[in-house]
Amino acid sequence: MKKTIILGLILCAAIGVNAQETATPNPVNPNAPKFKFVTEEIDYGTIEHNADGNREFKFTNVGKEPLIISNAVGSCGCTTPSWPKEPIKPGASDVIKVHYATDRVGAFEKTVTLTSNADVPSKVIKIKGVVKPDPTPAPGATPAAPAEQKH
């Protein structure tokens, strides 16, 4: 009886091991398109309220096949990217344009995630900076009352 149970357990284990699929990574295409950015982070520095929020990330396709960017998404609604819709040939350069809404005062760090057919299909580029408050209130605006401090 014990031999039958042990034999049954061994048989079940063998079937279970054979049923598992061996995970093989996707083969890497040696000719895949590849981004090479001049910089992957743009620092706006300290800028005026409502200043020009447009910047450009320059890149080159250093792969051997055309690079196709299918999407670009900002990390929030204040960061709006635009990207080339046509394939970028090997050796060719182009730009990812990013607009940050500089009507928002204070420090910011935002990302843009690119989706493409590159060797690394998801690529993140970054912007950061500080938007200074407007030094003069708008005409007719009342100055803000100082915040109460709790003791």
pLDDT of 3 reads: 58
Provide the Cα torsion 119, 40, 53, 109; round to 10°: 110
pTM, whole model, 2 decimals? 0.72
Model pLDDT for residues 31-83, shown as the tens digit of each residue? 999 999 999 999 999 999 999 999 999 999 999 999 999 999 999 999 999 99
Distance CA 69, CA 77 (A): 20
pLDDT in tens, 115-130: 999 999 999 999 999 9
HSE (CB half, 13 Å, CA atoms) of 50?
3
Tokens read off for 67: 């690079």
DSSP string, 44-81: EEEE-TT---EEEEEEEE-SSS-B-EEEEEESSTTEEE
pLDDT in tens, 4-16: 555 555 555 555 5
Please give the domain boundaries of the chain with CATH numbers for all domains: 35-131 (2.60.40.10)
**53 neighbors 144 (Cβ within 8 angstroms):** no
